[in-house]
Structures are given as C-alpha cells and as structure tokens.
Amino acid sequence: MAKSSRLVSGQRQGTVTLSWPSLVGRLNERLVLQLLQRHGPLSRAEVVRVSGLSAPTVSKAVSSLLRAGLVEEEEATETGRGRPAAKVRLARSRVQVLGIAVDADHCWVAAAGLDGVLRCPVRRVTTPASYEELLTVLEAAAREYMVEGIQTLGVGISLPGLVDSRTGRGILSPNVPMTNGHTPAVDLGSRLQLPAVLLQESHALCLAERHYGLARQIEDFAVLDVATGVGLGVMMGGRLFTGHSGLAGEIGHMTVVPQGGRRCGCGNTGCLETVVSDTALAWHASQKLGRLVRGDEVIELARNKLVDLSAELDQMAGYLALAVATVINVFNPAAVFIHTPLVDIEPDLLQRVIWHTQQRTLPPSFAQCQIARAQGTKYQGAIAGIIQALTDAVAPRIT
C-alpha cells in the first residue's frame, strides 16, 4: 500500500510515494519516528517500554526505518556494566533537510539533520526585487549546503502572507508581493530536484515552538509573530489550525483604528500591523529622523537610543496586548508565545504587554495561560515542516 503526502516534487504539486508492506507496519514506523522526535535517541528496549509495542514489532519497524535512511544507530558508549545497548536516533550523519525563511528584507537558509540540529551556520541573503531573482538567490544558497556524501531529503519554505495550503500558492503577501500568485515550493523544488513544502510563516513558527522551543509538552498554544507584519499560529490538540485552505491566523489585518488609521499593505486602513510591527516602528522613526528607516534598522536605532521611540513603544504594548487578549479569549490556549524583536529594545516591554493583557482578558482564561517570548525561528519552522512532511509520507496521521 502506498502513502501520499503533500510534498512537492519537480514541476507540480503532487505526491511522494513510499511503498511499505502494510498500514499497520507503517503506523508503527511513524510511532517510532515520533518517539525519537519527542525523546531523542532511544534503545530498542526503551522504544518497547515507551511505545507499548512488542520487541519484534519494534525491531521490524526500526529495521525498515534504517533501510529508508530516516534513522541511524549511535555508537554504543561503555558504561562499565556490560555491553551497552545501541541507541537509535533520527538520521543526521549522512542525510539532511533544508529550511528557508523568506522575509521582506532578508531570507535565511539553514540545513539540519532529521533531529532538527543545525549542521552549520545559517546563511542570510538579501531579498531581491523579483520572483525569478528570488528563486535564483535561494537556489544558490541551498546548493551551498548540498555537498557530496550528504543526501538532502527535502526543503521547507516559510512565507509571509496568505498561503493556500491546498495548492502551495502564495495568494497575498503585502510584505513580499513578488510571491503573489506563485508556488515557491514547486518552483524551487523543481530547480533543486527535491521534495518541498510551503508554510505560512506564523504556522512555521508554531511548528518551531512545538519541536524546538517552549511548547514541546504543550498541546494547545498560540504564537503571535510581530515582525514586518503581525501573524498568528494556533496549535489545537497538537495539530496546527490552518482553516479551510490554510488562510487562518491573519490577525494583523484586524481593524484596530477604524477612523484615521494608516493604510496597510493589504489595501485597508487601520490594521493591527500598521500600529504594532517593525514596519510601524520604522515609520515612526522615519518621521522623526526625516529619512527612510527600514524595519531591520529601526531595532538597532531604538536600542542604542539614536532615536527616542519610548512613547510609540508604550502605545504598541497596548495594541499588542489587545491582540494577545483576543487570542486568549477566543482560543483559551495554555500558552501564548510572542515572537518579536521589539522586546529587545526595552527589557520591560513584555511585562507591560502582559499587564495590559490582564486588563483585557477574562480572568479565568488569563489565569490558565502562560505568556512568554517565543524561542523558535522561522527557518526552524521550515525545517520542522519538511521533517513533518517526510514523517507523513511514512504513514498517515490517525485522529
């Protein structure tokens, strides 16, 4: 029986097919992969204990995953108490995946093993002006990681704006409009001859926090991304909430200034991201300095006191609290993680956001919710996305 995933390979949005002897066998293999993702390296006996599967079943699943190159055995370490059992881990010695985060000013390209651990420093490249140039720049950066002796299994791409998860197409990106109407995963995957997946950047941050950040043991949480724009990712019951076609989470285009607000890149006025984002802060800095200030510059200017934006930051804390309170009241998450460089400017900014949030949130919901700064990154989310797609290709998720 074959399993199809949402991986993109070659010129089309299609399927990657892996043949396995039975559905039950594939589900066991998926379970082993998930246990290794959650717990790290385990011996076969430890997998038996944690999973509840029989020893022969675990041995069969591990052998199949070893042949597929998705896991590998660690060298046994002497403990002084007899021959130690070899442990199995997610493959990283001879295989890798690539993660790419596209943003308005820069893109980040990273390579990692299937355990998510980076193999080498992350590359930062300037975002070019056209879509074809973007593909060329990303292809060149990706090929720097594709070295002899290391098999690259796929690439994940994080993209700001609206992304149709059914077609892998960027629909509307106010901050990277060159991608509108295009399919970056299809196109880059074709150039690199690799399976590829496209994720909306807030959804990618959710996956990053779930696998590598503070949400490893949390099933219901949200991530607010406050950077060039404002986005929302929500994980419910351990699953990403994407909506009908992947467009859920565009909280940045909620109207918060109904009269006299600034025009947003989406075409409307008074959107949340026009009053709380790097771009919004850069606009204020530009007005004060009499020159154009970009989003990636304003953080350093404000942190080094080269421009006084304390009043604007105080106002942003209130608007950000409005967004956090809305998320808590609507979704009742166990945690809300805020991904933003704005808190690097003033150390107490996050605490002010939490204080304002408490004033706007239903007390029982607020009391049960942790609010903290996110630890994951968008390129980590892209890495987690392609690893999840590869896992889904092994066997379907069971609800």
Give the CA-trace dihedral at 210, 203, 224, 206, to 10 degrees.
0
Classify residue 358 by its DSSP letter.
H
Torsions phi, psi for 278 (to 5 deg): -60, -40
Bridge partners for 152 per DSSP: 96
**Structural domains present in the chain:** 2-6+15-79+87-93 (1.10.10.10), 95-206+379-389 (3.30.420.40), 216-374 (3.30.420.40)
How far is residue 255's CA from residue 391's CA, in Å, rounded to a whole number?
A: 39
Question: In the chain, which stretches have pLDDT less than 50?
Answer: 1-6, 8-20
What's the pLDDT at 187?
Answer: 97
What's the pLDDT at 75?
Answer: 72
Q: What is the separation of C-alpha 220 from the centre of its chain, rounded to a whole number of angstroms? A: 16
What's the pLDDT at 77?
Answer: 60
Bridge partners for 87 per DSSP: 43
How far is residue 326's CA from residue 188's CA, in Å, rounded to a whole number?
A: 37
What's the pLDDT at 3?
Answer: 35
Q: Assess contact for 152 and 96: CB atoms under 8 A.
A: yes
H/E/C letters for each residue in 11-60?
A: CEECCCCEECCCHHHHHHHHHHHHHHHHHCCEEHHHHHHHHCCCHHHHHH
How far is residue 221's CA from residue 158's CA, in Å, rounded to a whole number?
A: 20
**pTM for the model:** 0.86
Minimal CA–CA distance to 394: which of 107, 53, 91, 27? 27
* Beta strand 221-226 pairing with 335-339: parallel
pLDDT tens digit sequence for 353-378:
999 999 999 999 999 999 999 999 99
How far is residue 352's CA from residue 318's CA, in Å, rounded to a whole number?
A: 8
What's the pLDDT at 152?
Answer: 96
Phi-psi region of 141 (alpha: psi -120 to 50; beta: other; left: phi over 0): alpha
What's the pLDDT at 86?
Answer: 87
